[in-house]
Amino acid sequence: MTGCKASLPPSTPLSELSPQQTSGHQVYVTRCAGCHYPNSEDPLHGPGLKGVYRKKYLPSGAPANDDRVTAVIERGRNMMPAFGNNLDDQQLADLLAYLHTL
């Protein structure tokens, strides 16, 4: 069927997140939520992040893996600002752990 796409399973509920994922959720809320929906593939100001790691590729066409996602977070891409100077290593690791739950 043209126009149909497979539905992704729901994200992990907040009540089931590990302590690291919960910390990452807080980073997401303060740094990412203004531009990216966590539980939708629909765009806000940037692409929706639901299932970002459950797909083979990011919306940019790059592989959906920690190295590529880290590079985009640290250096920015297109309209997304760089956060490399705004997040410490632990915050970045926590954010990646949370993104894996979406």
Residue 54 has pLDDT above 80, yes or no: yes
Q: Kindly tell me if the per-residue pLDDT of 8 is higher than 60.
A: yes
Residue type, 9: P
Name the DSSP class of 14. G
CATH class for domain 18-99?
Answer: mainly alpha
Average pLDDT over residues 86-97: 98
pTM assigned to the model: 0.90
Distance CA 24, CA 83 (A): 14
Structural domain spans, the chain: 18-99
